């Protein structure tokens, strides 16, 4: 039988929202306080949902140790306590939480093979969150 498993992780990082495609005035208008050249930070909560048939011999969709090990090495080591503007994944992209969601989704999609990736959800603050399922509809 198919089940969905969601694991929640925390990481902290700083960023500055600034687009080279805009003038300074446009950047200031578009991003407001987030355009501060010195940056600012958040405690991000990351939820990763994977799915698959529950293995009868283990009772699991996938072994949590495999997911935790992958996330620690490929995501948390890369983003936790970093300035997102300096993380290569973003290149020239603005490190909004939208772009962070798609980057993290892509890292998992490329490298995590133990279960099917359903979606990534990120809370930037307690007041806003972002979900990405690779372009698929999000199931509630």
- According to the binding rule CB under 8 A, does residue 31 interact with other proteins? no
Ranges of beta strands (E only) in the chain are: 2-15, 40-53, 82-83, 116-125, 128-132
**What residues from 51 to 80 belong to the interface with other proteins (CB under 8 A)?**
54, 57-61, 63-65
Least distance (Å) from other proteins to the CB of residue 1?
6
Tokens at 124, concatenated? 């930037």
- According to the binding rule CB under 8 A, does residue 22 interact with other proteins? no
- Rounded Cα distance between 17 and 93, Å, is 10
Least distance (Å) from other proteins to the CB of residue 76?
13
- Rounded Cα distance between 113 and 136, Å, is 19
Q: With respect to other proteins, which residue has the nearer C-beta, 47 or 89?
A: 47
> Strand 40-53 and strand 116-125: pairing?
antiparallel
**What residues from 86 to 125 belong to the interface with other proteins (CB under 8 A)?**
none
- According to the binding rule CB under 8 A, does residue 136 interact with other proteins? no
- According to the binding rule CB under 8 A, does residue 133 interact with other proteins? no
- Rounded Cα distance between 7 and 58, Å, is 18
CB atoms within 10 A of CB 28: 14
- According to the binding rule CB under 8 A, does residue 1 interact with other proteins? yes
- According to the binding rule CB under 8 A, does residue 33 interact with other proteins? no
Binding site for other proteins (CB under 8 A): 1-9, 49, 54, 57-61, 63-65, 139-140
């Amino acid at each position: 039988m198919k089940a969905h498993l969601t694991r929640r992780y925390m990481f902290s990082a700083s960023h500055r929202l600034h687009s080279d495609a805009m003038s300074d005035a446009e950047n200031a208008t578009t991003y407001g306080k987030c355009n501060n050249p010195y940056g600012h930070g958040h405690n991000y909560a990351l939820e990763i949902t994977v799915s698959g048939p529950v293995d009868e011999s283990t009772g699991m969709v996938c072994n949590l140790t495999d997911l935790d090990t992958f996330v620690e090495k490929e995501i948390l080591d890369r983003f936790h306590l970093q300035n997102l503007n300096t993380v290569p994944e973003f290149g020239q992209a603005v490190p909004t939480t939208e772009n962070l969601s798609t980057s993290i989704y892509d890292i998992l999609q490329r490298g995590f093979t133990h279960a099917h990736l359903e979606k990534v959800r990120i809370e930037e603050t307690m007041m806003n969150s972002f979900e990405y399922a690779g372009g698929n509809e999000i199931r509630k």
